[in-house]
Amino acid sequence: MIRTYRYRVKDSSAAPQLNKLARSCNFVWNFCNESQEHALRWNQRWPTGFDLNKLTAGCSKELGLHSQTVQAVCEEYAARRKQSKKRKLRWRGKRSLGWIPFKASGIKVVDDTVTYAGNTFRFWKSRDIPGTIKTGNFAQDSRKRWYVNFVVEVPETELATGTKQIGIDLGLKTLATCSDGRKIEAPRWYRNQQRRIAEHQRKKRSRQARNLQAKIANRRKDFLHKESDKLTKECGLIVVGDVGSARLAKTNMAKSVNDAGWAMFRNLLEYKAIARKVVYREVSERLSTQTCSGCGAIGGPKGREGLGIREWVCGQCNAVHDRDVNAAMNILRLGHQSLALK
Ligand SMILES: [Zn+2]
C-alpha cells in the first residue's frame, strides 16, 4: 500500500537553502523545455525522459543536486509534456512553487531531520513514518511554505479489522450523520472563518484572504482525514448516500460550508475503505429522508420545505425519528439490499 506523508519543514533556517535547490531544479526543467524547443525547431525526434537524462548527465554536482533529482525532474518533464499533449511546457521561474524531487537513496532521515545533498533540514514530525520511504519531494504550498513529502510503502498489517456496519447521510446542516446516531459536525472554527474571508475579499486584501483559505483547507483536510480514519478502522461495511450537486443546486445552499467537505469526505472514505478492505457502497439517497426506517411507510419531511424539520413521528408505527439518523438507517438498509443482489 503506497501512501504519501507530508511534514512541514522548519522554515526559518531552511528556506534559503531550499529556495536555492528549487532554482537548480527549475534550471534543469527549463533546460528540458529548451531541448524540446530545439527538437521542434530542427524537426528532430522529441526527447523522452531517457534522452533528457542523457543530456543532463553529469550536471548534478555543479547544481548542488543529487543526480537522482536531476533524473526525476527530466522524467517528470517528459511525462507531463506527453500527458498535456502540448509541444512544450511552461517555463519555471520565480513565481513557480518550489519543487525538489528525490529518491529514497538520495536522502537520510534521522528522527526529525532529513539530509539531502549535504544539507540537513529539520521538520515538524507530527506523526511517525509508518513504513519504508520509496521516493518523495520537498515542495512549497501557495503560502510559499516548505513541506517534505515522503512516499511510503505501508505494510498491510495496518489493515483495520472493524466489524461495525454503518450508513452515512451527508447533509447541509450536519456534515455527516451515522446510522448509529453519531453526528459529525464541521468544526466551528472553520465555519466562522468563512465570514472573515469574505471580509478580506470585500476589502481587497487578497493576500490575507488567500492565506486564510490555505489555512482552512489544511484544517479541513486534517479533520476529514481523522474522521474517515476513525470510521474505516471500526467498520466492516460503510454505505454512503449518493447526494450530489444536483440536490445542492435545488436548495439554494450551494455555498454551504459543508459542500466542499462532502466530496472530499466521500473520496477519503472510499479510498481508505478500499485500502483497509472495508466494504464500501454508494446507494441512491432518494426517499431516504421520507421513508420510515422502522416500518417502511413514506411520510417523513420532504425536500426543501422539510429542511427545517429535524424530528418527526411516523404516522404508521408512531416511531419518533431524528431526520438524519433515520435517513442514515435507510441508507444502510439499501446498502444491505445492494449487497444481497450480488
Ligand atoms: Zn413507521
DSSP secondary structure letter of residue 105: G
Quick one: 134 and 255 in the same domain?
no
The confidence score (pLDDT) of residue 21 equals 94
Quick one: 291 and 152 in the same domain?
no
What are 235's strand-pairing partners? 164
333 CA to centre of ligand 1 in angstroms: 15
Query: Length of the chain in residues, anyone?
Result: 342
Quick one: 89 and 229 in the same domain?
no
The span from the CA of 322 to the CA of 341, in Å, is 29
Quick one: 172 and 240 in the same domain?
yes
295 CA to centre of ligand 1 in angstroms: 4
The confidence score (pLDDT) of residue 158 equals 56
Quick one: 231 and 139 in the same domain?
no
Place of cell 507530508: 6
342 CA to centre of ligand 1 in angstroms: 28
Quick one: 30 and 136 in the same domain?
yes
Q: All 3 cell numbers of residue 206?
A: 487578497
CATH of the domain at 309: 3.30.420
Summarised one tens digit per residue, pLDDT across range 122-137 is 999 888 888 889 999 9
Query: What is the total count of domains within the chain?
Result: 2
Summarised one tens digit per residue, pLDDT across range 60-89 is 888 889 999 999 999 999 999 988 888 889
165 CA to centre of ligand 1 in angstroms: 22
Quick one: 175 and 322 in the same domain?
yes
Contact 33/89 with Cβ under 8 angstroms? Answer: yes
The span from the CA of 265 to the CA of 229, in Å, is 10
Does the residue 334 lie in any domain?
yes
Contact 52/78 with Cβ under 8 angstroms? Answer: yes
Range of the domain at 24: 2-156
Quick one: 35 and 133 in the same domain?
yes
315 CA to centre of ligand 1 in angstroms: 7
299 CA to centre of ligand 1 in angstroms: 8
Residues, beta carbon < 5 Å, ion ligand 1: 292, 294-295, 297, 314, 316-317, 319
Q: All 3 cell numbers of residue 298?
A: 413514506
Residue 1 CA to its chain's centroid (Å):
17
Quick one: 259 and 337 in the same domain?
yes
Does the residue 191 lie in any domain?
no
The answer to which of 39-48, 231-240, 250-259 has the lowest mean pLDDT is 250-259
Task: Kindly report the average pLDDT of the chain as a whole number.
Answer: 86
246 CA to centre of ligand 1 in angstroms: 28
Contact 176/160 with Cβ under 8 angstroms? Answer: no
pTM of the model: 0.60
317 CA to centre of ligand 1 in angstroms: 4
320 CA to centre of ligand 1 in angstroms: 9
Contact 167/333 with Cβ under 8 angstroms? Answer: yes
Please give the share of the chain, as a percent, with pLDDT higher than 90.
41
Return the closest-CA partner of residue 91 out of 140, 36, 41, 142: 36
Q: All 3 cell numbers of residue 41?
A: 525547431
Summarised one tens digit per residue, pLDDT across range 30-59 is 999 999 999 988 888 888 888 898 888 888
Question: Which pLDDT band, with edges at 50, 70 and 90, does 254 fall under?
Answer: very low
Place of cell 520565480: 94
- Give mean pLDDT, residues 152-175: 79
Quick one: 137 and 48 in the same domain?
yes
Quick one: 22 and 92 in the same domain?
yes
Does the residue 213 lie in any domain?
no
Contact 175/186 with Cβ under 8 angstroms? Answer: yes
Does the residue 301 lie in any domain?
yes
Quick one: 122 and 177 in the same domain?
no
